[in-house]
Structure 1
Amino acid sequence: MMPKVSEQAIAEYDAVAAGLVSAGVVRGSMFGMPCLKIGRKVIAGMYGDAMTFKLPPQPREKALSLPGVEPFDPRMGRPMKEWVLIPLSQSAVWPDYAAEALEYVRG
């Protein structure tokens, strides 16, 4: 079951999504959660009151140093290797990490 999502988290997620439209990012879904894609590749998603981002090693480590940020484990007991979960309390950095994820996934 997916965690509940607050209106504030939805608004912040929508702002991130809107900021990436001009780069060709579209909305989609992955495992039942809203996500952002470039082509068929997922760059970010919404999980409860947090966003997940696929990041290369350095930005991932930087993100993990922020309060409340953790490796993304969608309740499978095994964190996803390149993914981090950044809580709503850190939403000010969501656009920055979305841009990092986009650059990384585009290669």
Structure 2
Amino acid sequence: MTSDDHLDAIAADLAVRGATAGTMFGKRALKAHGKAFACLKGDLLAFRLGAGRPAHTEALALPGAELFDPSGKHRPFKDWVAIPSSHAQAWPHYAEVALNSLTG
């Protein structure tokens, strides 16, 4: 399964909660209520988890995970964690957490 396939599956699962596919910085993304909560950059899927929250800390501890730097110019978003496809089995969990943070 490719990273795009995983993103499509997550989008389908979360559609009932109002998640839609869209774009962010020219990359495929998942949005809800007009705000992006996940963004695909190559083989990394980034999630808006909120700096200092337990899920953010947990996600950053995964091997290969890093703060999301969509521009590639060393200006990462502190609230976002990019998780490599080697942890794709965890992507649905983090998508749920990120969506929950938007919907309260």
Confirm or deny a common fold (TM above 0.5): yes
Aligned-pair distance for 1:55? Answer: 0.3
Aligned counterparts of 2:8 and 2:20: Cα–Cα separation in 1: 11
- TM-score in terms of structure 2 length: 0.92
Give the 3-state SS of the residue equivalent to 1:86 in structure 2. strand
Show the counterpart of 1:47: 41
Stretches of structure 2 that go unaligned for 5 or more consecutive residues are none
Identity of aligned residues (%): 42
Q: Superposition RMSD on alpha carbons, in Å?
A: 1.1
Matching of residue 86 in structure 1 with residue 83 in structure 2: yes
Show the counterpart of 1:66: 62
Give the 3-state SS of the residue equivalent to 1:66 in structure 2. coil
Aligned-pair distance for 1:16? Answer: 1.0
Q: Aligned match of 1:24 in 5, 18, 24?
A: 18
Aligned-pair distance for 1:19? Answer: 0.9
Stretches of structure 1 that go unaligned for 5 or more consecutive residues are 1-6
| 2:56 partner amino acid | R
Aligned-pair distance for 1:97? Answer: 0.1
| 1:51 partner amino acid | L
Give the 3-state SS of the residue equivalent to 1:78 in structure 2. coil
Aligned-pair distance for 1:13? Answer: 1.1
